Amino acid sequence: MPIVTIVMQKGKSGEYKKSLLEAVHESLVTAFKIPENDRNQRIIEIDPENFEYPPEKTQDFLTIEMTVFPGRSLQAKKALYKEIATRLRTLGIKGTDLLITLNEPPLDNWGIRGGYPASEVDIGFKLDV
């Protein structure tokens, strides 16, 4: 149940943004073994005058923040970062224009399925990948 937020400079086409969302989702399916239908993603577009980034980055710079259930191994996280960078390269995004962060709140801090902590629910997939 990753919650994905992609922040980028405004001005890209709808097709580009759809491809971006698909690339990130497929990376999660591959690296974290989440279910194919487990999608909770959004893109936040910022006007260029309101989006500051390091001078060595280009206007394609984007951040990908993911809030995920805890439990994935370092190996799975490395695989996720590599998958995302590889897939985004096909969209013309250089690895140097990419920043990915993972937030892993404890399962007790997720209210799901009608108000239950995720720690008390069978989530239906493995976290220890």
The yes-or-no verdict on residue 109 having pLDDT over 90 is: no
For the residues of 22-56, what is the DSSP string, one character each? HHHHHHHHHHH---TT---EEEEEE-GGG----TT
**pLDDT of amino acid 127:** 84
**pLDDT of amino acid 11:** 94
- Which residue range(s) make up the domain with 61? 3-120
Give the burial string for 63-78 (b: 16+ CB within 10 Å, else e): ebebbbbeebeeebbe
Averaged pLDDT for residues 33-43: 94
Q: Is residue 129 part of a domain?
A: no
Number of domains observed in the structure of the chain: 1
CATH number at residue 96: 3.30.429.10
Q: What's the pLDDT tens digit per position in 6-19?
A: 999 999 999 999 99
- What is the percentage of the chain residues whose pLDDT exceeds 90? 81
**pLDDT of amino acid 126:** 81
What's the predicted TM-score (pTM) here? 0.91
- Mention every residue, 6+ apart, whose C-beta is less than 8 A from residue 129: 31, 32, 33, 72, 73, 76
Q: Is residue 33 part of a domain?
A: yes
**pLDDT of amino acid 23:** 98
